[in-house]
Amino acid sequence: MASHIVGYPRMGPKRELKFALESFWDGKHTSEDLQKVSSDLRSSIWKQMANAGIKYIPSNTFSYYDQVLDTTAMLGAVPERYSWNGGEIGFDTYFSMARGNASVPAMEMTKWFDTNYHFIVPELSPNIKFSYASRKAVTEYKEAKALGVDTVPVLVGPVTYLLLSKPAKGVEKTFPLLSLLKHILPIYKEVIAELKEAGASWIQFDEPTLVKDLDSHQLKAFTEAYTELETSLSGLNVLIETYFADVPAEAYKTITSLKAISGFGFDLVRGTKTLDVIKSAGFPSGKYLFAGIVDGRNIWANDLASSLSTLQALEGIVGKDKLVVSTSSSLLHTAVDLVNETKLDDEIKSWLAFAAQKVVEVNALAKALAGQKDEAFFSANAAAQASRKSSPRVTNPQVQKAAAALKGSDHRRATNVSARLDAQQKKLNLPLLPTTTIGSFPQTIELRRVRREYKASKISEEDYVKTIKEEINKVVKIQEEFDIDVLVHGEPERNDMVEYFGEQLSGFAFTVNGWVQSYGSRCVKPPIIYGDVSRPKAMTVFWSSVAQSMTSRPMKGMLTGPVTILNWSFVRNDQPRSETCYQIALSIKQEVEDLEAAGINVIQIDEAALREGLPLRKSEEAFYLDWAVHSFRITNCGVKDTTQIHTHMCYSNFNDIIHSIIDMDADVITIENSRSDEKLLSVFREGVKYGAGIGPGVYDIHSPRIPSAEEIADRVKKMLAVLEINVLWVNPDCGLKTRKYAEVKPALTNMVAAAKQLRAELANGK
């Protein structure tokens, strides 16, 4: 019985690629150094899977930034502003598209489906000239083959690539991107020909857009694409891989009718209804079913007995020799290896499986189907499953009772937002176009060292508190010097906005090396929510009070919202996500009320990930938005009218959920805008009325580029064309922790200068 892995984490068990990338960007390492680190990581991954007994091992899933940008490079689809002159795309052009450079901004970045992983959005136009400009897929296949590992090269499918793209600037928004299909397929044919020549016997096309609600025209594109590629694919085995949700019946019918395709990969963890489709519609004779039964998105050990039962049922439908055991998606979304976790207690550790363990689970299930069941392995797994179900540390009756009592109220503030803003302005006395930042300031090497040493008990609490207070004071003075109106304390005590809160809430566990890639070199370490959540004590009140005591200006209390904590954690799978979210909301509510009692008049509750969790199918969106928005309202429903509640969102497409954002009933929302070509503003041009305060980001903090005051002023003027001046705020797109002070200081200086210039112009009636 065969086994397959959809994809694997790239960063390395100790984030080796992250550090190599950052050293390269800083000029400390050469391109050869970067390539050596990446080659060593790939070799290690391929050998690990081969040694574990995996038959279908993926290649070309490694990336220096993301797989969609890799496809853009493969197709030579470089926007004109990067002045690429053809030929093989090098690091300069590649990273300029991803990060921008001193002259031009980066391409838009957005979330990969409903994950916290990001991709660079392709910008396409009717007259774009595609060319084969990156041979990465072929190079990596040959690299693995030289090691004695025959891999399955993975390509982002041509239809998914186009459906994830956007019209380039200046192109009509109605431009049909699928009309470019006939122009990119010749490049795919070249890639396929080179892979065949190199000896590839399988190719995997990732087409995850198949799980979305596609119309007949979009579904027809899949038929057209793979019919056109049929001759080129002759002699190869071809896998179409889908993930993250059920494949709708019409999409299932479309792809299983394709003659050129040998196998189909389905997510059977998040797509449980796909099993019903397979049973009712049947499965094409002679084709392979790659059954995604091991969860690629979460870190819980697989229930092997249950999975084996499901696989045996499928075996009866598709045939013993045509069933392949697989992961539900790429393991990119999980931590790398549980072996590296030395501080998790044994009980919780027994409940978990990271990427390396999931590879073992896949192979164990494949061997069990083939009659070679490892009884000891299955027995240990069953014991761990039983331990988790019965452990007293998972359940807290008081928390469950409090969460249940939330039902029956919508938890809205008593006064409407217009009246609240009036009351807040009387108290805060802010100017027109008030300036603020999103929360974090640069996290220096020294600051990270202090936090690390404090956690390791190498410095005293007294020394730690002294250092953090000094850092807060520095950040406060910088903001006062720049004349920013509403300040932040810079979050020097926090390594991560979710991890920091999870460490102080019950029901959470933490890893040492459970890093997951978010984009580029950016990694996060998601907490593990294993049980009912509660707040034993105040989490931020001390630091917010310290910061407020250093200034007469309003100081924001900085919190992460319940939906974002949920979506950026590895969440327990033994109860509905909504129940866990309500529990977190109650904890944040307690913190909000303690901040208010401590004299903090502006409190920001970040919901950066609210849009990210939106289901991929329209029929499921309303239920999610109902409990997600309700959870946010729970956090602040009890504060006074004079307490100003902010929230923040970033790097997603918000236009389709704008009415839910309004329903959150925050006083002020700051929201990513600049990197997405001000897409957000279009919703207001179309007539949506937004009465609360709003700060669409005026510059992209994920690029080292420093915008001029004139550029920022022009951007604010565009906002004023669709938003009332009395509700508009001026702020960056996101927090500043990933930037250097050499970039932050001039950018914020220019931001404040732009706001002051516009205030002066408005005062003079211009």
Known binding-site positions for Zn(2+) = 648, 650, 659, 663, 672, 734
Residue ranges at the known binding site for 5-methyltetrahydropteroyltri-L-glutamate: 18, 116, 522-523, 568
Pairing between strand 109-111 and 118-120? antiparallel
Count of other CB atoms within 10 angstroms of residue 594: 18
* Residue positions forming the annotated binding site for L-methionine: 438-440, 491, 606
Cα–Cα distance, 613 to 497 (Å, whole number)? 17
* CA-based nearest residue to 554, from 637, 646, 442, 625: 646
CA dihedral of 559, 564, 570, 572, whole degrees rounded to 10: 100
Cα 608 to Cα 737: distance, rounded to the nearest angstrom: 15
Q: Which of the following is catalytic: 4, 333, 646, 702? A: 702
Name the 3-class secondary structure at 206.
strand
The helix or strand, by DSSP H or E, that contains position 443, with its residue range, turns out to be none
Q: Assess contact for 75 and 133: CB atoms under 8 A.
A: yes
Contact 120, 97 (CB under 8 A): yes
Dihedral angle sign, alpha carbons of residues 147, 152, 157, 161: negative
Of 68, 10, 69, residue with least CA distance to 37? 10
Per-residue tokens: 357: 């363990």
Is 333 one of the catalytic residues? no
Q: How far apart are CA 493 and CA 558, in angstroms?
A: 12
Q: Which residues are annotated as a binding site for L-homocysteine?
A: 438-440, 606
Q: Are 248 and 278 in contact (CB under 8 A)?
A: no
Cα separation, 487 vs 481, in Å, equals 11
Helix/strand/coil percentages in the chain, nearest 5: 45, 15, 40
Residue with tokens 């001046």: 725
Q: Residue 44: in which H helix or E strand, if any?
A: helix 31-51
Using the structure block, give the residue that is written with the tokens 């990273």: 95
Annotated binding site, which residues?
18, 116, 438-440, 491, 522-523, 568, 606, 648, 650, 659, 663, 672, 734
Strands 556-560 and 570-571: unpaired
- Alpha helices, DSSP H, located in 616-740: 618-636, 658-663, 681-685, 709-720
The two three-digit tokens of residue 668, written as one number:
């002020």
Residue 728 DSSP one-character state: B
Residues with catalytic function: 702
